[in-house]
Amino acid sequence: MTYELYYWPGIQGRGEFIRLALEEAGARYVDVAVLPRAKGGGVPAILEVLEARNIQRPPFAPPILKAGARFIAQTPNILLYLGGRLRLAPADEAGKLWTHQLQLTILDFYLEIFHTHHPLGDGYAYEEQKAAAKRRTKDFLAVRMPKFLGYFERVLELNGARGPWMVGARLSYVDLSTAQVIAGLRYAFPAASRRALRNRPRLRALHDVVFDRPRIARYVASGRRLAFNNEDLFRHYPELDR
Amino acid sequence: MTYELYYWPGIQGRGEFIRLALEEAGARYVDVAVLPRAKGGGVPAILEVLEARNIQRPPFAPPILKAGARFIAQTPNILLYLGGRLRLAPADEAGKLWTHQLQLTILDFYLEIFHTHHPLGDGYAYEEQKAAAKRRTKDFLAVRMPKFLGYFERVLELNGARGPWMVGARLSYVDLSTAQVIAGLRYAFPAASRRALRNRPRLRALHDVVFDRPRIARYVASGRRLAFNNEDLFRHYPELDR
């Protein structure tokens, strides 16, 4: 089966968590909105799905994965689905739920990262909420980021299996997502994240081993992985990186 | 099996989504932190779990469900687990994922509701972020709330099965959570939510049918369901309800 991914073109965003899973597994997929409009791509392709009147189980927002006739949405839910099919999660129920639990904690983390630059939400431009962003970021860097990083470092430490992974002895989608968040943090907060990761050797190693995976490295080298930019989930505003 | 729920005492919070599922199913559970400290309850019972060094798969934050020897965390993940066991979700994989997808959209919704009064996060008291809260709430009430409510009303409309439910012909945990969010919105924004729900007859009916369920009604009447209050996820600040 060839999957279809629907996600806003021009940014990595939440879509990147799905792309990394598809790439690592070598799955066939079309990144629909990245296609030219003349070939059925672009933003209109996404709006068509969101506004379709004939989808009985409609998605609320991208990312959306079309698998056969089904449209599956919500990043952790898509990964839950793909985890089983692409062997990116344990097969036993307890392992599956634990992997998913970690992914939901990653979701909490990257939502808080998004809120550092958009505490008042998407309804206002960054420039309209700069003062609020500064206050929110102060608390994030001092309290929240160390708490999340400390937690994930501990999860790596507690995993009794050999290897650098979060769950058991094999790579799972949550490793890919964690590495992606670390890459994003380094882009957004180069100074603060360097300090925060100094005592987290396992997280640094996880990032490296993920981006060294042959298929991930090929994906990055292909140019298909977009660069981080300031329209995205992770944004670099030097004034926020103290 | 008797489940154990660990959630901050004194508020409904995210724990209430779990409680409603356990109550509707008539499951046996102990609401651990609600017990007196002398009986092993209170906040220390939660901290003990969060700080335990012998839990190999540690939770990041409450709510936490102890099921046998396992600790399961993250609200949607706990409901995913309970959905299968308590017959609060379809048994087929597609139905299971769809129910979960809706629950994750409910999560997006109640996170945005939390952010109306705490756009800068937990690190500051409401009084320290009142101006930011007013701006965020303005966008929430004008744009986001109608978008979410419109979506869920459409999901109800598109469900071809008989009955008032979100998924198929039986109640699922997402019905309980949706009803809870509507109750919370009515507490937080009595005026704005009344206007917004005027054209959403299916959502209003879903709220009523959930809180009329015999076990849910007994739970509410028992006094065990805490009242909404301004330490909670849903808060009523008249100045935000324009």
- The answer to whether the CB of B202 falls within 8 A of the CB of B154 is no
User: Residue B237's pLDDT is what?
Assistant: 98
Closest by Cβ to A97, choosing from B72, B101, B121 = B72
B168 in A contact zone (CB under 8 Å): no
Tokens of A233: 């989930």
pLDDT beyond 80 at A27: yes
> CA B152, CA A91: separation in Å to the nearest integer?
32
CA A158 to chain centre: 23
Tell which residue, A94, A93, A63, A59, has the closest CA to residue A76. A63
- Judged on CB neighbours under 10 Å (0-12, 13-18, 19+), B78 is buried
In a mutational test of the A interface, the residue from B17, B118, B135 whose CB has the highest number of chain A CBs within 10 Å is B135
* Identity of residue B13: G
Residues in chain A: 242
- CB–CB of A123 and B139 under 8 A? yes
Q: What is the token pair recorded at A76?
A: 């952790």
- The pLDDT of A55-72, averaged and rounded, is 97
A83-139, pLDDT tens digit by residue? 999 999 999 999 999 999 999 999 999 999 999 999 999 999 999 999 999 999 999
| C-alpha–C-alpha distance, residues A65 and A167, integer Å | 24
From chain A, the residues in CB contact with B129 under 8 A are: 132, 135
Q: How far apart are CA B153 and CA B203, in angstroms?
A: 6
Distance, C-alpha B223 to centroid of its chain: 18
The pLDDT of residue B57: 97
d(Cα A100, Cα A174) in Å, to the nearest integer? 8
Q: Where are the domains of chain A?
A: 3-85, 93-213
Beta strands in chain A (DSSP E): 3-6, 29-31, 64-67, 70-73
Pairs of CB atoms within 8 A across A/B: 116
pLDDT number for residue A160: 86
Mean pLDDT score, A230-241? 97
* Alpha-carbon gap, residue B179 to B67, rounded angstroms: 26
A68 touches chain B (CB under 8 A): no
For the A93-213 domain, the top CATH level (class) is: mainly alpha
Q: What's the pLDDT at B242?
A: 77
Chain B CB within 8 Å of residue A77 CB: yes
ipTM higher than the 0.90 cut? yes
The per-residue pLDDT for B38 is: 95
Of B60, B74, B121, the CB nearest to A151: B60
Residue B160: its pLDDT value, please?
A: 86
Per-residue pLDDT 10s for chain B (242 aa) are: 899 999 999 999 999 999 999 999 999 999 999 999 999 999 999 999 999 999 999 999 999 999 999 999 999 999 999 999 999 999 999 999 999 999 999 999 999 999 999 999 999 999 999 999 999 999 999 999 999 999 999 999 999 898 999 999 999 999 999 999 999 999 999 999 999 999 999 999 999 999 999 999 999 999 999 999 999 999 999 999 97
Q: Is the full-model pTM beyond 0.90?
A: yes
Fold observed for domain B93-240? Glutathione S-transferase Yfyf (Class Pi); Chain A, domain 2 (1.20.1050)
Best residue in A71, A120, A145, A167 to probe B by mutation, most B CBs within 10 Å? A120
B154 interaction partners in chain A (CB closer than 8 Å): 58
Chain B CB contacts of A123 under 8 Å are 139, 143-144
Max alpha carbon distance in chain A (Å)?
52
A161 confidence band (pLDDT: 50, 70, 90): very high
Is residue B101 a contact partner of residue A73, using CB atoms and an 8 Å limit? yes
pLDDT of res. B46: 98
Residue A48: pLDDT above 90? yes
B3-85 sits in which CATH class?
Answer: alpha beta
Q: Is the preceding omega at residue B63 within 30 degrees of 0, hence cis?
A: yes
